[in-house]
A = this chain, B = another copy of it.
Amino acid sequence: MSEKQYHHGDLRNSLIQAGIEILAEEGVSALSVRQAATRAGVSHSAPYAHFHDKQDLIAAISTEGFRRLHARITSAAPENPGDIANRLTETAWAYVQFALENRALFNLMFSGILEDGGDYPDFAAISQETFLLIVDLVRRCQQAGLLRRGPADVQALSIWSLVHGFVSLLLEQQISHTILERGPLKELLAQTLGQIMQVRVENRE
């Protein structure tokens, strides 16, 4: 505000938004500091006043991605404490949908493009918080008898691994057509998840 600076006041954020737009429109390979700068309407070297290097910008974009994923997961299942099994499935489905709707961003967040996430505190914080969301849900599933007993964090890891692996292989087109053609994706995910949940069905021996 005030006297109107050189730029619009929040170039840092504009660059992050520009980066996310580039990812959505042109994919990971098109993401460059220079193009983000151009989209934000500044010179190609202006970003270096706000980010130490490209990795630093990538960390900021990934952090924003995790914030959105976290929000998406949080609002995935209605706070319906009764139907906890459904809630686990809906959470997993929210994760899958986020990845499909934000392919390039999801890739940036999880594909080693950010070389050392631990160096970026904000990134480390929000990604850990997202994991805690899952640990919490797992704990409630255990209490409901839907999952085996055992350390909730290890079990959460199993489930997150399962869902994350499912998404990764899906995005990489590593899931064969014959499987995908058998029915809707959400159902396949539910079946896959079902492998890890306790069955309480017909053949109870």
Q: Could you tell me which A residues sit within 8 Å of B by CB distance? A: 27-29, 103, 107, 110-113, 115-118, 127-128, 131, 148, 150, 153-155, 157-158, 160-166, 168-169, 171-176, 178-179, 188, 191-192, 195-196, 199
Contacts and interface: CB of A to CB of B under 8 A. Distances in A.
A133 B154 CA distance: 27
Contacts of A111: 107, 111-113, 172
A103 B115 CA distance: 12
A121 to B, nearest CB: 14
Copies of this chain present in the complex amount to 2
B160 A162 contact: no
A47 B165 CA distance: 34
B175 A164 contact: no
A153 to B, nearest CB: 6
Contact of A176 (B110, B153, B174): B153
Contacts of A118: 173
A131 B196 contact: no
B131 A176 contact: yes
B171 A168 contact: no
A199 B149 CA distance: 12
A175 B195 contact: no
27 contacts: A27-B115, A103-B112, A110-B174, A111-B111, A111-B112, A116-B173, A117-B172, A117-B174, A118-B173, A127-B174, A128-B176, A131-B174, A131-B176, A148-B195, A153-B176, A153-B178, A154-B188, A154-B191, A158-B191, A158-B195, A160-B169, A161-B165, A162-B165, A165-B165, A165-B168, A168-B168, A195-B196
